[in-house]
Structure 1
Amino acid sequence: MIHQRLKEAINQYSEELTALRRKLHSEPELSWQEENTTKFICEYLENLGIAFRRTEPTGVIAEIKGEKPGKTVALRGDMDALSVEQLNKELPYASKEDGKMHACGHDAHTAMLLIAAKALNEIKADLPGNVRLIFQPAEEVAEGAKALVEQGAVEGVDNVFGIHIWSQMPTHKVSCMPGPSFASADLFTVTFKGRGGHGAMPQDCIDAAIVASAFVMNVQPVISRTIDPQQPAVLTVGKMTVGTRFNVIAENAVIEGTVRCFDPSTRDHIEKQLTHYANQVAALYGATVKVEYIRGTQAVINDEYSANLVQKVAAETFGEDVLYQEKPTMGGEDFSFYLDKVPGSFALVGSGNPEKDTGWAHHHGRFNIDEDALATGAELYAQYAWVYLNE
């Protein structure tokens, strides 16, 4: 089922794969600022003779056209970095940009997809169909996938496949379970307005600090008491801004947080209940409130056929023991916007290795990957495309 030439090519280009990842890691660019990364990808694809077009304002969509008729499969790799200061500066490929770092593995995704493209391009005479290559910007702000879908990324595509390096899994392991993989990720802002005044005269005031605190302490029952306990959900208050001075009763309080879940009806219910709780708390204290609820990414739900195909491809490519059953995460991923349009799946490739200190959480300043996982990801991209087109 697998293509032996792809395996040989990935192995042949392993040193180049590592070098690509290290270059990208040392030159991180934030969401919607990936100008140099976009230029580098374009030059690389041009040298391979692969047709491509730039997307706006950053990003690249390319296509390898097989010489036999067939379907079109899309492979996606994201490429933006984070506003994180790199702490493991001793690495020879550490970030050259203060306060910017590839702390989530997108450098690896881009490098893996480039090498997969290189290998697939060499067998295009055998390909029964086409391989769409999506180099996506702005995943970290949950905007890039939606923007590229609007720019035609999955037009004419029959199936879409993505990979995320995963430091919480052992190196080389592959997980792609049917059903929920990543949760929907929403943002909310609750703004309470009371009546400020002197700290010595509370009788003349409506203390926004008290109102906001009451909301924070009482909103968790939205999760624990109003939804089915068999539907996982998280409501987190991450930021609270209130008051201006130690002896001034606060007039305003702003609370920011996130909601994560997998089920659409649960998502609707939490939004409604959060607004209800905010209004009731404000009324209790005589304050006013404004609630802004922003829907971010959808839940990533792996198509059963596609996820099972990933498992079959991984087992045949690397052996049965490579398969791993990672639990769904409450983390968000904008790969969901592709799955809204096209069936597909999203796989995790393990890169955690205690001996190489690569078990740090994603978004941590010491995040790093076991580079032995790069070849696993690159070949999984390539072999999945080959097998899907031959199904």
Structure 2
Amino acid sequence: MNGLKERVQETFDHFHQNPELSWEEVETTKTVAALLEEAGCRVRTFDDCTGVIGEIGNFGEGRPVIAVRADMDALYQEVKGELRANHSCGHDAHMTMVLGTLWRIQQQPELLEKIGVRFIFQPAEEVGSGALKLVEKGVVDDVDYYYGIHLRPHQETPDGKASPAIVHGATGSIAFDIRGDDAHGARPHLTHNAVEIGTYLINAFHTIHLDPNIAHTAKVTRFLAGGRNVNIIPGSAQLALDIRAQTNELMEQLRERILEIIQSARDLYKVEINITEDFGIAAAEVHPEAEEVARQAIIRVLGEENLTDPIITPGGDDFHFYTIKRPQVKATMVGLGCGLAPGLHHPDMTFNHDALMNGISVLSEILKLHAEGVAKP
């Protein structure tokens, strides 16, 4: 146990000190692939993208296929005055816990005879496109149950506790350009003021009223217009919105209303408005059977007193694209309390590294439960 804990800490330190951005996880892929091979996994990498898959156990007919996912990429942010890649969302910890789970179960041949285990190290979660790419690669086509794990901030889940499901909301972004000609400040009739059009749009977005019983927000997070000379009326501007809803259905309603408002501005001002980005991540579709297995694993490992309710959060994760695109996959994501502070994505985020062993124990117990036959494919 002590040897495993030391190896886990060394592995975490390596990933933490060598972060790589989305779709650039080249060295991380090589490192993980080597560790998977060393542990006896069948390893698969890809010619056109980063990411790596490791398989161990019995993939024979009638055996359940259980997948465990770790995201690999870091964020790009300012850390102590320097813009650089930084693991402030816990992906270094997620990779470490999934590898630790492999190291734990590779010594249990009786378990591996009963199930096939696929470890999926996924790139580009932070840009919301890695899961979709791996779905295209067919990595979950034969998967029965799929588990993820994510560190949770201390305000949400206390250290030492864990949740059997993270109910992420749907998230999205819509960006657009207002395109027109500048004019002299003395001749406002020769153009449409892009600042005024942008202000009209912001006020109109605030009139969107959807079901108040389901959490949702739409907020402008970018508004760029004008230049150094204040006597020029700007004809062009750039705006962007961050949009969130707790369900996929409400997100689609929210998105449709935003696009309708943008069209109304085109019609009212007779101006060109081009959508430059329209992107979203699906809300969680947690399967009750997978959640129940995770719940039992947490109770066995941490005790019932350290089991928390499913976490409902407006944050998003592209993990949920797997079940949206392949509905036969029964999935959940475990939320791990670890004393994380000040919060996810904070450049100086820290957490209790001892919690890594809790995550490894919970994931290992999930696989053990499947080997015991508590859930059928």
Using the size of structure 2 for normalisation, the TM-score is 0.91
Give 1:327 deviation, angstroms: 3.8
**Aligned position for 1:230:** 213
**Aligned position for 2:256:** 272
**Aligned position for 1:181:** 167
Could you say what secondary structure the match of 2:364 adopts? helix
Residue pairs, 1:214-253, within 5 angstroms? 214-222=200-208, 225=209, 227-245=210-228, 246-253=230-237
- Partners in 2 of 1:238 and 1:196 — Cα distance? 24
Residue pairs, 1:209-358, within 5 angstroms? 209-222=195-208, 225=209, 227-245=210-228, 246-292=230-276, 294-325=278-309, 327-340=311-324, 341=326, 342-352=329-339, 358=340
**Aligned position for 1:93:** none
Give 1:66 deviation, angstroms: 3.5
Give 1:263 deviation, angstroms: 2.5
Q: Is the 8 A contact 1:275 1:291 kept in 2?
A: no
Q: Is the 8 A contact 2:163 2:311 kept in 1?
A: no
Question: Once structures 1 and 2 are overlaid, which stretch shifts more, 77-86 or 280-289?
Answer: 280-289
What's the CA shift string for 1:87-134, capped at 9, x where partnerless?
4x9xxxxxxx96111010000000111110111111133331111100
Give 1:217 deviation, angstroms: 2.3
- Partners in 2 of 1:165 and 1:235 — Cα distance? 26
- Residue 58 (1) aligns with residue 50 (2): yes
- Residue 153 (1) aligns with residue 139 (2): yes
Could you say what secondary structure the match of 1:200 adopts? coil
Letter of the structure 2 residue corresponding to residue 129 of structure 1: I
- Partners in 2 of 1:212 and 1:283 — Cα distance? 14
What's the CA shift string for 1:112-168, capped at 9, x where partnerless?
111101111111333311111001111001111111111121121101000001123
Could you say what secondary structure the match of 1:75 adopts? strand
What's the CA shift string for 1:264-286, capped at 9, x where partnerless?
33222212211111222343344
- Partners in 2 of 1:29 and 1:174 — Cα distance? 28
Q: Is the 8 A contact 1:271 1:293 kept in 2?
A: no
Residue pairs, 1:371-386, within 5 angstroms? 371-386=353-368
Could you say what secondary structure the match of 2:106 adopts? helix
Runs of 4 or more consecutive aligned structure 1 residues displaced over 6 Å after TM superposition: none
- Residue 125 (1) aligns with residue 110 (2): yes
- Partners in 2 of 1:145 and 1:43 — Cα distance? 22
Q: Is the 8 A contact 2:164 2:298 kept in 1?
A: no
Distance 1:247 1:124, change over 3 A: farther
Could you say what secondary structure the match of 1:122 adopts? coil
Q: Is the 8 A contact 1:195 1:207 kept in 2?
A: no
Q: Is the 8 A contact 2:72 2:123 kept in 1?
A: yes
Question: Once structures 1 and 2 are overlaid, which stretch shifts more, 156-165 or 53-62?
Answer: 53-62
Could you say what secondary structure the match of 1:368 adopts? coil
Give the counterpart of 1:83 among 76, 81, 87.
Answer: 76
**Aligned position for 2:190:** 204
Q: Is the 8 A contact 1:236 1:258 kept in 2?
A: yes
Q: Percent identity, aligned pairs only? A: 29
- Partners in 1 of 2:50 and 2:335 — Cα distance? 25
Please provide the CA RMSD for this pair. 2.0
Could you say what secondary structure the match of 1:367 adopts? coil
Could you say what secondary structure the match of 2:312 adopts? coil
- Partners in 2 of 1:202 and 1:98 — Cα distance? 41
What's the CA shift string for 1:190-237, capped at 9, x where partnerless?
322344201222233210111101211220221xx2x11112211121
- Partners in 2 of 1:99 and 1:150 — Cα distance? 30
Could you say what secondary structure the match of 2:109 adopts? coil
Residue pairs, 1:63-78, within 5 angstroms? 63-66=55-58, 70-78=63-71
Give the counterpart of 2:90 among 101, 105, 108.
Answer: 105
Q: How many residues align?
A: 364
What's the CA shift string for 1:21-72, capped at 9, x where partnerless?
1111011000111111111111111221211111342111111113986211
- Residue 24 (1) aligns with residue 11 (2): no
Using the size of structure 1 for normalisation, the TM-score is 0.88
Residue pairs, 1:135-154, within 5 angstroms? 135-154=121-140
Give 1:74 deviation, angstroms: 0.3
Give 1:293 deviation, angstroms: 5.6
- Partners in 2 of 1:113 and 1:79 — Cα distance? 11
- Partners in 1 of 2:355 and 2:288 — Cα distance? 25
Could you say what secondary structure the match of 1:260 adopts? strand
